[in-house]
Amino acid sequence: MNEVIKANNLTVTLGGKTVLEDITFTAGSGELTGVIGPNGAGKTTLLRAILGLVSVQGGSLAVLGISGQRLKEVRPRIGYMPQRQSFERRFPLSSADVIATGLLSPRTLFRRVPGKEEHVKKALGLVGMEGFYDRPFQDLSGGEQQRVLLARALVRRPNLLLLDEPNTGLDFPAQQSFVELLRELKEKENLTILLVSHDLVSIAPAADILLCINRTMHIHGHPAEVLRSPQLDEAYRCQFDFLTTGGDNERCWH
């Protein structure tokens, strides 16, 4: 299995403060890796490091075979869905308009993108939204909007997909539907996915690997192993939303 992401003792410092320290993991081709941890744990910073947007002060990080100062070169091969975005209501963007912004780059900003309509329609098909090309984005439900934003991240047909808290603001059925879509994409497209969340429940069933961080690495392994690990409580410091019981294994989950 090819290693799409390989981090070894990764350390990132921002404004003189160590945000990530001693992070070691690999993400293989066609794997869905869930990155979990409480708010402020450094999860978004990890994504920014993978994108080459923040510098690595210690250890090493390789993405799609590229490392060091050259990481920015792999951005065209990465689809990125940042935390929940809002689009100005005064500008009536269609679903196609939103997705097409994913084709923009410094080189294409003021140029016509060849085959734009075809790329957008293919991306809509990947997320099961074929009939939504001309639909106003603001008229869509929360779950539909997230699928359109996912299509935006997929419009360049990337090798690696980075998702930052994609389920924020969605009800539980919409969360389940979205995660199931990711699992289907991973299998059909052999897509490597790194999914950041503080919500264990929604991503654990779909993940091949779970990586739990809170500034430093706490656990990295199969979801069943991670969820049973006492290190999980240490990472979250029991800042959990609800309690699940399992006899002697009672614990709190976020």
Q: Is pLDDT at 96 greater than 60 in this prediction?
A: yes
pLDDT of 246: 39
b/e for 114-133, b at 16 or more Cβ within 10 A? Answer: eeeeebbbbbbebbebeebe
Q: Does the domain formed by 3-87+159-176+190-253 have CATH 3.40.50.300? A: yes
Backbone CA torsion sign across 1, 62, 126, 198: positive
pLDDT of 133: 96
Q: Phi/psi of residue 186, each to 5°?
A: -60, -45
Q: Is pLDDT at 111 greater than 90 in this prediction?
A: no
Q: Is pLDDT at 253 greater than 90 in this prediction?
A: no
Rounded alpha-carbon distances, angstroms, from residue 160 to 60, 105, 203, 214: 19, 18, 18, 23
For range 13-26, the mean pLDDT:
94
Residue 127, both tokens: 């997320």
Q: Give Cβ neighbours of residue 217 (< 8 Å, ≥ 6 apart).
A: 22, 23, 24, 25, 211
106-115, 133-142, 196-205: which has the minimum mean pLDDT? 106-115
| Cα 143 from Cα 230, distance rounded (Å) | 34
Share of the chain above pLDDT 70, in %: 84
Instruction: Classify residue 19 by its DSSP letter.
Output: E
| Cα 60 from Cα 6, distance rounded (Å) | 8
Which residue, 184, 172, 121, is CA-closest to 142?
172
Q: Supply the pTM of this predicted model.
A: 0.86
Write the pLDDT tens digit of every residue in 46-74: 999 999 999 999 999 999 999 988 998 89
For range 122-141, the mean pLDDT:
94
Using pLDDT thresholds of 50, 70 and 90, give the confidence band for residue 123: very high
